[in-house]
Amino acid sequence: MHELVSLARQTRLVFGRSLRAGLREPALAFVFPLAFPLLIIGLFSQIYRRVADLPGFPAGSYLAWMAPAVVLMAAMFGAGHSAMGLVRDLQTGFLDRLRLLPVRPAALLLGRLGFDMARVTTAGLGVLAVAVALGAPLRAGPLGVLAIAVLLAGWSLGYAGLYYVVGLKARSPEALTALVPLFLPISLLSTAYVPAELLPGWVRTAAAVNPYSHVVDAVRAAMTGTLHAGQLATAVIAVTAAVALTQLAAARRFAGLVHRD
C-alpha cells in the first residue's frame, strides 16, 4: 500500500513539473493540438461539403462525418510534447539526476503520460465543442461524452507511446518532429474522412484492420447517439491494443535506459 501511495505521490510531482513546463510553453503544449484540428475542420467542412451529396453517403453533412476524426486529431497532434521533454531530460543529464533520487522509474513515465492525456483530452473536447457549434451532431448524453473522452484519452496514450519509443531510441528531438506526418497515412487509410463503402478496395481492407477506424467510428456513433455495446467494445479493444503495443515497447526501452548499463 505504501508503495502505491509513494508511486502516486511521485507521479503527481512529475505531472506537476510537466504542467508547469507546458504552461511556460503554451503554444506548443496547448495551442498546437487545438489549432491545427480547428483549421482542418474549418477548411475540410467547406472544401468537401458536397461529398455528402454522393449517393449512399451515410451522414447528413460532411462535417458530421469528419468531426470525430478531427476530435481524435488533437490526440495525434498533441502526442509528442512530453516525449520531447523526456528527450530533453536525456540530453541535459536531468534524467540521470532524477535516477539518483529515490524515484520509481514508472512515476517518471506515468507523470508525463498523465499530463499528455489530460492536455490532449481537454484539447479534443474543445475541438468537439467547436464542431458541435458549427453544426456537428452531439445527440449522446453525458455517458456518450464520457465515452468520447475515454476513447480520446486512450488513443492519445497509444499514440504518445510511438513518440516515446522513437524518442528513447533516437534520443533526438528531430526524430520526433519527423513523426508528425504519420497522422496522414493513419487517418487516410481509415474511415476517418471517407465512409468504407466509398473507399477503393485495398484502402477499405487497410481501413478494416486499422485500429484507428474502429475508434473513430465509435466516436462518430457516440456523437450521433447510436453507439452500441459491441461497437464500444471493439473500439476499447483497438485502443487497448494500441496502448499495449506502444506503451509496453516504450516502457521496455525506458527500463533499459534507467537500468544500469
Partner 1 sequence: MTEQAIETVSLGKVYAGEVRALEEVSFRTGYGEVFAYLGRNGSGKTTTIRILTTLTAATTGTARVAGHDVARDPAAVRRAIGVTMQHAALDETMTGRELLGFLAALWELPRGAAAARIGEVVDRLGLGGVLDRRIATYSGGTRRRLDLAGALLHRPAVLFLDEPSTGLDPQSRRALWEQVRELRNQGSAIFLTTQYLEEAAQLADRIAVLHGGRLAAEDTPDGLRRGRGGLRLRVRVDRRPDNQGWITRPVISAGQAHQVLDGLVASGAAIAEFHLDEPTLEDAYLALTGTQSSTAPPAAMAAVPA
Q: Can you give the binding site for partner 1, defined by CB under 8 A?
A: 6, 10, 13, 16-17, 20-21, 24-25, 89, 92-94, 96-103, 260-261
Shortest Cβ 9–partner 1 spacing (Å): 8
Question: In this complex, which beta carbon is closest to partner 1, that of residue 18 or of residue 210?
Answer: 18
Question: In this complex, which beta carbon is closest to partner 1, that of residue 94 or of residue 252?
Answer: 94
Radius of gyration, CA atoms only, the chain: 19
> Taking phi first (over 0 means left), then psi (-120 to 50 degrees means alpha), and beta for anything else, what does residue 8 get?
alpha
Instruction: Find where cell 461524452 sits.
Output: 145
The pair phi, psi for residue 209, each rounded to 5°, is: -100, -5
Output the DSSP codes for 11-62.
Answer: HHHHHHHHHHHHHHSHIIIIIHHHHHHHHHHHHHHHHTGGGGGSTT--SSSH
Question: In this complex, which beta carbon is closest to partner 1, that of residue 124 or of residue 167?
Answer: 167
Question: In this complex, which beta carbon is closest to partner 1, that of residue 25 or of residue 59?
Answer: 25
Shortest Cβ 11–partner 1 spacing (Å): 11
Shortest Cβ 261–partner 1 spacing (Å): 6
Q: How many other C-beta atoms can be found within 10 angstroms of the C-beta atom of residue 96?
A: 11
Shortest Cβ 176–partner 1 spacing (Å): 17
